[in-house]
A and B are shown apart, each in its own frame.
Chain A
């Protein structure tokens, strides 16, 4: 188990600076998620942890020791690659056994550990197959067993669930999480799927273009997103963001006007669809579209400030397309950002128009 620290880490590929200045501490035994859109440097950061990439600047520490120059094989990390990277010409058994070959583990003990690891991820009956004879989910589990068999001090998962179908993804999410609880190994999960990050990780590191936007618990990121980017990235369906001008305690957004507290100037108002409700108070609009989502219904409502998404509980729609409605919300659920700097204004809220 290890405590990880990035200190002013820089990574360049030739002239391209992919990671300008990364500072981050991951506690021993923690499960963190690196979350961000494609190309933001998640895999690059992970590969630096694995030792596959050497940082161009700054320091990377494991348990207080600088490991910048420590070779991959001396780091004792387990990695599940996005493509799984199973050795195609070896049986599943030999794949899982491979890391132990280089640890000079006695053969009997090694085989026992392979069996144990295979049991853990439930691939025991597949040991004699080749990777090409496995389904995506099975390959993923074998990759996980190979990463775990050497009892790594750090487990790195690069988008391990992205190739799986929806139901398998759900069960693997639970399995990885319970494995982590069972083994307690420091784990870094890379993902661009916010649901994966929020459901599995203790802490989420939200990245954008090589920089950390926000670090926090899933709740922090959801309830107090520090920037417009995080607010827009976390939450599904995505938050409603509308820009307006505030003056004398009132913000004007297109045609709509709200009372605003604690902010003025150019603002962006954020209202999550699940915090809006259709009722007797609030701003007026016309239902343009209805999308049933199983247990919830998503309404797209045309209002004075543009199209607004409203998520309501229930499996059958209580309203119909074309209906004139009012949309209300609780003031404490509203978010207000500075449009210019894209930052959250802490403590600022808007209220329903009266």
Chain B
């Protein structure tokens, strides 16, 4: 017995020329994405794998092919566990405090007030993202400067009567890298959540009001459920981008004091480009790619993203 769907498929297949049309559609619709993926993901990974099996170093000469780099990753590099632990704190802390939670609060708050003020506040939070990283970090360096001229020290000393200036870069470096990244990271969640909130039909809020919901009940029962997909997306996307980006940390603390703020990606960079261990850096980077893929897949499963995917609006056969 065949179902109607089967029959339709058979009918479709039967049409002459439809196979050719499918091929053309495949090339037109998926071609560009495939080319980009190959060029910017597959090729670099292949090169990375190749380099990781060499002893490439500062001399830029390969003298032998070896698995020595992997032995280092899994056995001898004792700093690695500390780096991984810090990376976890950094990624999870930034994500949980700023990129998702604070972004969500910003979005909910700025859409609940008058439109003009809401746009203004969102604009303010977007500013750091629009300014060059170096400029943004220069401002931070001034703010946390351990001298009396530093912004935070000025405030603490003049308004709160602190005696000696604080050296936050030494005493609270992890908090600093989380905050400086989070202030920027929150704006992406904010924008995506704002757009999602805007697209919730107004009648749902009217209905909720009629049903007896107050402000917080409306947020909990109408707004948040509608944000499930954007929250999942922002979480996975930002996890990955936090895992691999390190430019703000490099500019702010250079990974220090010592290795205290050296997250994994920065560790790869320091190994490869500061110590000149290119082969080892490549092996570490490969490990990072694996972590990234695993995290993405776990996130996909955890948030049940498949179920949240919408059917294509246009079906192409």
Contacts and interface: CB of A to CB of B under 8 A. Distances in A.
B206 interface: yes
Interface in A50-84: 50-52, 71-73, 77-79, 81-83
A89 B226 contact: yes
B105 interface: no
B240 interface: no
A50 B206 contact: yes
B206 A103 contact: no
A327 B222 CA distance: 61
A87 B203 CA distance: 10
A98 B209 CA distance: 11
A102 B210 contact: no
A73 B212 contact: yes
B225 A85 contact: no
A51 B208 CA distance: 12
A99 interface: yes
A132 B226 CA distance: 14
Contacts of A102: 211-213, 217
B221 A87 contact: yes
**Chain B interface mostly:** helix
B203 A78 contact: no
A118 B148 CA distance: 70
A88 B200 CA distance: 10
Given A87-B221, A89-B225, A98-B221, A81 B207 contact: yes
Contact of A85 (B203, B214, B221): B203
B129 to A, nearest CB: 31
Quick one: which of B203, B207, B214 has the most chain A CB within 10 A? B207
Nearest to B224: A89
Interface size class of A (residues with CB under 8 A): 20 to 34
A86 B203 CA distance: 9
Interface string B166-185: 00000000000000000000
A87 B204 contact: yes
Contacts of B132: none
A146 B211 contact: yes
Contacts of A81: 203, 206-207
Quick one: which of A51, A79, A82 has the most chain B CB within 10 A? A79
B214 A87 contact: no
B231 to A, nearest CB: 13
Nearest to A74: B212
A123 B201 CA distance: 24
B212 A79 contact: no
A78 B222 contact: no
A256 to B, nearest CB: 51
Nearest to A156: B210
B116 to A, nearest CB: 15
A79 B225 contact: no
A186 to B, nearest CB: 15
Quick one: which of A89, A103, A146 has the most chain B CB within 10 A? A89
B209 A83 contact: no
Contact of A73 (B210, B221, B225): B210
A85 B213 contact: no
Nearest to B225: A89
A302 to B, nearest CB: 48
A85 B211 CA distance: 12
A71 B210 CA distance: 9
24 contacts: A71-B209, A72-B206, A72-B209, A73-B211, A73-B213, A73-B214, A78-B210, A79-B206, A81-B203, A81-B206, A83-B203, A85-B203, A86-B207, A87-B204, A87-B208, A88-B204, A88-B226, A89-B225, A98-B213, A99-B211, A99-B212, A101-B211, A150-B211, A150-B212
Interface of B: 201, 203-204, 206-214, 217, 221-222, 225-226, 228
